[in-house]
Copies of this chain bind each other. A is one copy, B any other.
Amino acid sequence: MRDVCVIGLGLIGGSLLRAAAASGRTAWGAAVSEVDADAASRAGFDVTTDVEAALHRAAAEDAMVVLAVPLPAVEDLLRLVNQHASHCLLTDVTSVKAPVLDAVRRRVPYTRYVGGHPMAGTSKSGWLAGDASLFQGAAWVVAVEEDTDLEAWAEVAKLVLDVGAHVVPLPAESHDEAVARISHLPHLLAAILATIGAEGGPLAMSLAAGSYRDGTRVAGSNPQLVRAMTEGNRDALLPIVDEALGRLGAARGSLASTGGLAATINAGYEGAQALAASLDVERAGVRISLAAPDARQGLIALGERGGRITGLTDGIATGEVQ
């Protein structure tokens, strides 16, 4: 099993360092944040605030390098990767994939890069919020592009499986469009709801119950991280925000004119059933040989249909799809 070097020890990077170590890998990390690095060190992990030293060691050991910093810090970090570990197998956990892919192609053209994004998190951030079990049962996108090196892809996928997640193979663009819907729009709507609720003052807060707590929970997330992911996905997010504006405007018009909200509320109810059904659906087993000439297309088709890879042995990916 290849060693793992995690750069960035916040919620995701810190959880991955713990989980990789727990799975039996040799794993070390680095964080610019002294708070995170100190806490990780006190917890017995092999970490440093010297990012260059950690990358140098990764090059010497031919380790896999995992970028676990927020999107705005990725470009600078890639410059260091190019200086110190330009031939290492590289992946990341950033919440937007096309901009990172683009930056890697510009900054570290000779690396073997496979983008990644675990669909796990809490509204907390930092090392202390992390947990080796954070990824258990979570979806983790491992990006497949037309030119993806499938040996590198399999190594990243194996790490993902080792830490308890399942692999969703997708091109960067498909990932970014989907997360605009199911992660970035939720964060925007939560922020707007929390703003409008708080404007109601102590009275409104005194009546806030389940629907408000649920609807605003992620508004309590670190605002810099939320900005990084939403602003970083601008191209995919704009049309989704437009769709929300259109639907909210239609609801407004209907309420004002006919007094009815049936179309809005019934569509939402059906949407909620779609999520419930997707958790419950009967799934068929699939096997994809990574040596097959159409392996990339097979992986992408699986991901696009909502499927997942749950095992990987001897070049054969096994999984399930509805």
Please give the residue numbers on chain A whose beta carbons come within 8 Å of chain B beta carbons, in ascending order: 119-122, 138-139, 141, 168, 170, 174-175, 177-179, 181-183, 185-221, 223, 226-227, 230-231, 234, 237-238, 240-245, 247-249, 251-252, 255-256, 259-262, 264-276, 278, 303-308, 322
Given contacts A251-B241, A265-B223, contact A178 B193 (CB under 8 A): no
CB of A212 within 8 A of CB of B183, answer: yes
CB of B170 within 8 A of CB of A203, answer: yes
Given contacts A241-B255, A248-B241, contact A265 B226 (CB under 8 A): yes
CB of A201 within 8 A of CB of B306, answer: yes
Partner of A188, one of B199, B221, B242, B264: B264
CB of B304 within 8 A of CB of A219, answer: no
Given contacts A220-B273, A260-B231, contact A268 B192 (CB under 8 A): yes
Nearest CB of chain B from residue A188's CB, rounded to whole Å: 6
CB of A272 within 8 A of CB of B219, answer: yes
Report chain B residues within 8 Å CB of A175.
207
CB of A191 within 8 A of CB of B267, answer: yes
CB of B139 within 8 A of CB of A206, answer: yes
CB of B218 within 8 A of CB of A214, answer: yes
CB of B218 within 8 A of CB of A304, answer: no
Partner of A269, one of B196, B223, B231, B264: B223
In the complex, what residue of chain B is closest to A249 when comparing beta carbons?
A: B245
Given contacts A181-B200, A245-B252, contact A216 B278 (CB under 8 A): no
CB of B248 within 8 A of CB of A192, answer: yes
Report chain B residues within 8 Å CB of A227.
260-262, 265
CB of B272 within 8 A of CB of A141, answer: no
In the complex, what residue of chain B is closest to A199 when comparing beta carbons?
A: B181
CB of A193 within 8 A of CB of B200, answer: no
